[in-house]
Amino acid sequence: MSYGYPGQGYGPGSGHGYNAPGYGQQHPAPPQQPGRQHQRPPHPPPQGLDTYGYPMASGQGTGARASESHAPPPPSGSQEFGHGAPQGYTFQYSNCTGRRRALLIGINYFGQKGELRGCLNDVKNVSQFLVDYRGYKREDMVILTDDQDGPGRPTRENIIRAMQWLVADAQPNDALFLHFSGHGGRAEDLDGDEDDGYDEVIYPVDFETAGHIVDDEIHNYVVRPLKPGVRLTALFDSCHSGSVLDLPYIYSTKGILKEPNLAKEAGQGLLEAVGHYARGDIGAVASTVFSFAKTALRGNEAYEKTKRTKTSPADVVMWSGSRDDQTSADATIASEATGAMSWAFISSLKKKPEQSYIELLNNVRDVLEEKYTQKPQLSSSHPIDVNLRFIM
């Protein structure tokens, strides 16, 4: 079963996650698209919790583990963007030695159309990996799963509130981690920043009444507030997730920055036009040429707008389970239901803890290619040197 549009316990009493006793006041939300306002709970935070009603961070992280990789660590200080990024912008890599926080969301959609089986297991496996291999602590994690009620249930409101908690007061060299395993989909692009005309979305457990969460919103909540030098690593195991954080820079397995493929579009348009001409349908020839020109112009304008408005001085990297036009698999591996992308990501890093960005992208793809057609994607908030060591 795929994690497309929807139609074992890991919650209270299990010893995992966090069940906040009450919702806290929230800081003002980032700018939203018209008609997409969200209510914020009015209650004051209980003692010992932050203003979001979630646990305070307990201390510093441990940084990257030792490695056999020859990939160099990220450089320090401000870096020039280059590679077509907005002129004059700089960014800063994180060395991931500061505070660590993680938000993990798993939704099986129990009793709903399109019910999944592996998403809660994904959260369990990924959180255990973060603790055992990457220096994260349980008390610095918020886990939302749909076998919980109250603050731990992945409703639209709770997901947004938890995203705000994740990035609140983050400082340079902090390491944040966001994991989502559940249904993803597409919706009509309303602001002209998608070259294919569609936004990517995720579905909270209450999507039938509260609606989905659009990529523009996710970007506003977890990317836009970040300072230079703050690392956010995101892992999305959902359909149509290739650009679900709206990060402008997407990389191929050869380490090449992807851009709208206007040459491919032109070739397809030309072949179609020639076919119409051969059949004597002159009107269709003109229509095809006009349609191609319109599509190419829209794609290029959308790409330039995304670079102009979504490039960030922070250090945001996303690993997604599929291209925007693909589904992601709900698999059974070693007799356990799991998301294929979540499993491939942690398996690759367990096998070789330190790799370059391009090594990890290819290794994850190699793992999945044995059984699945989905193509994992690597994207970032700034141009990256893919030969640097990937740390989190």
Q: Is 239 labeled as catalytic in the residue annotation? A: yes
Q: Is 96 labeled as catalytic in the residue annotation? A: no
* Alpha helices in the chain, H assignment, sequence order: 119-134, 156-167, 207-210, 215-222, 262-278, 282-310, 340-351, 357-369
- Cβ atoms of 233 and 392 within 8 Å: the answer is yes
User: Rounded to 5 degrees, what are φ and ψ at 108?
Assistant: -95, -10
Per DSSP bridges, beta strands 175-181 and 100-106 are: parallel
Contacts of 132 (CB under 8 A, 6+ apart): none
Single out the residue of 135, 191, 183 nearest to residue 309, CA to CA: 191
Query: From the candidates 16, 96, 179, 183, which is the catalytic residue?
Result: 183
Single out the residue of 382, 216, 384 nearest to residue 311, CA to CA: 382
Query: From the candidates 16, 239, 240, 382, which is the catalytic residue?
Result: 239
- Cβ atoms of 221 and 167 within 8 Å: the answer is yes
- Cβ atoms of 74 and 92 within 8 Å: the answer is no
Q: Which residues are catalytic?
A: 183, 239
